[in-house]
């Protein structure tokens, strides 16, 4: 038992290291791709031709596979909180490799996100045992979860079609919100696929059920959507902020989806529910601190004629004789020249 749990622990730590590093590698690839064409944040797909981005993508896939296998050997209450280690990895690597400075208050925000998410998961109820894809299909088609799914898809479509084109470049919550909401549906589908694979390897073929293929289609669609908008978020905002906010929101929506689908909280005690509420508040506080202390990324130069130095403004006095030079930042004039009336004669 202990050797199995140890394997799960090691796999979870390895998973977090790979996923955290993938954020940095992919962003470096996005930056390289943005030099030669449209950036991902404005709808460009040049990063698909960038080898460094694919290295980051492979790194993330390896991390996700390790995370998936970790759930086989260890309980979720241990594996899920360890996912917060990816935040620390990405923040540290971004500080040294991307020169994205993490302020002291930003470090506090990271800590709050980690602590809050850990409290939520540690007080979450145990998962019920599922023995077939058909059982998950019955849970997924119950009215409560269908309502959640419809609401999640509707909100995601509003964010994608209305909010992203207008506010995606200035509001970090747009892109990450899409990833997190869709991600909760991804996890439910991935869990069904995992059970199908496990039962098939044990001798009970689940591929003959149409539900397995529906879950697979939903998972692929959601994963592609997540990756697209995650790339936009990484290409637009500071990595040290994207990682913890994405982790916090993704964890929150996933727990909510799981609670609705599996009715996990029906037997919860008042103390456990109160602890989870405190965890949500802690995560929210950390998210606000991180967002408020974010260093703005440098502006994107889209015009070859954009001036690289501060602009200069000239002012003429009422008598036409006094000229001043003044910088944009409101600094005092560097010199004042008095022109004689007969200068232009």
- For the residues 83-105, what does the mean pLDDT come to? 77
Q: What confidence tier does 138 reach under pLDDT thresholds 50, 70, 90?
A: very high
Q: What confidence tier does 155 reach under pLDDT thresholds 50, 70, 90?
A: very high
- For the residues 174-179, what does the mean pLDDT come to? 94
| Cβ-proximal residues to 44 (8 Å cutoff; 6+ apart), any chain | 33, 34, 37, 38
- For the residues 307-325, what does the mean pLDDT come to? 42
- For the residues 279-297, what does the mean pLDDT come to? 69
Q: What is the pLDDT of residue 213?
A: 93
Chain centre distance of CA 78 = 22
Is 39 a residue whose pLDDT tops 60?
A: yes
Q: What is the mean pLDDT of the chain?
A: 76
Q: What is the pLDDT of residue 314?
A: 40
R_g of the chain computed on alpha carbons: 26
- For the residues 308-335, what does the mean pLDDT come to? 43
Rounded Cα–Cα distance for residues 134 and 283 (Å): 35
Is 184 a residue whose pLDDT tops 80?
A: yes
Is 288 a residue whose pLDDT tops 90?
A: no
pTM of the model: 0.65
Q: What percent of the chain has pLDDT over 90?
A: 20
Rounded Cα–Cα distance for residues 161 and 165 (Å): 7
Q: What is the pLDDT of residues 236-246, one digit of tens each?
A: 888 767 877 88
Chain length of the chain: 345
Rounded Cα–Cα distance for residues 189 and 178 (Å): 17
């Amino acid at each position: 038992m202990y050797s199995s749990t140890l394997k799960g622990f090691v796999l979870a730590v390895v998973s977090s290291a790979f996923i955290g590093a993938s954020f940095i590698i992919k962003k470096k690839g996005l930056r390289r791709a943005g030099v030669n064409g449209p950036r991902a944040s404005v709808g460009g797909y040049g990063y698909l031709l960038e080898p460094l981005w694919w290295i980051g993508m492979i790194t993330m896939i390896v991390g996700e596979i390790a995370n998936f296998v970790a759930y086989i050997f260890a309980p979720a209450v241990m594996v899920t909180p360890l996912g917060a280690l990816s935040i620390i990895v990405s923040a540290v690597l971004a500080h040294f490799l991307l020169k994205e400075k993490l302020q002291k208050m930003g470090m506090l925000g990271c800590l709050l996100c980690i602590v809050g998410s850990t409290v939520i998961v540690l007080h979450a109820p145990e998962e019920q045992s599922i023995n077939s894809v058909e059982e998950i299909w019955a849970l997924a088609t119950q009215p409560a979860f269908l309502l959640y799914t419809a609401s999640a898809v509707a909100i995601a479509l509003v964010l994608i079609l209305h909010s992203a084109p207008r506010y995606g470049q200035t509001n970090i919550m747009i892109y990450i919100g899409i990833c997190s909401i869709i991600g909760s549906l991804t996890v439910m589908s991935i869990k069904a696929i995992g059970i199908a694979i496990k039962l098939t390897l044990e001798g009970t073929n689940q591929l003959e059920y149409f539900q397995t293929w529906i879950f697979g289609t939903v998972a692929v669609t959601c994963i592609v959507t997540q990756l697209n908008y995650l790339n936009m978020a990484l290409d637009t905002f500071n990595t040290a902020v994207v990682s913890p906010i994405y982790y916090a929101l993704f964890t929150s929506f996933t727990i909510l989806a799981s609670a609705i689908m599996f009715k996990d909280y029906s037997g919860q005690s008042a103390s456990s529910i109160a602890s989870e509420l405190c965890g949500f508040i802690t995560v929210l506080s950390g998210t606000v601190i991180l967002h408020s202390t974010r260093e703005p990324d440098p502006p994107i130069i889209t015009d070859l004629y954009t001036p690289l130095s501060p602009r200069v403004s000239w002012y003429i006095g009422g008598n036409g004789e006094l000229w001043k030079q003044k910088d944009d930042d409101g600094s005092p004039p560097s010199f004042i020249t008095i022109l004689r009336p007969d200068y232009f004669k």
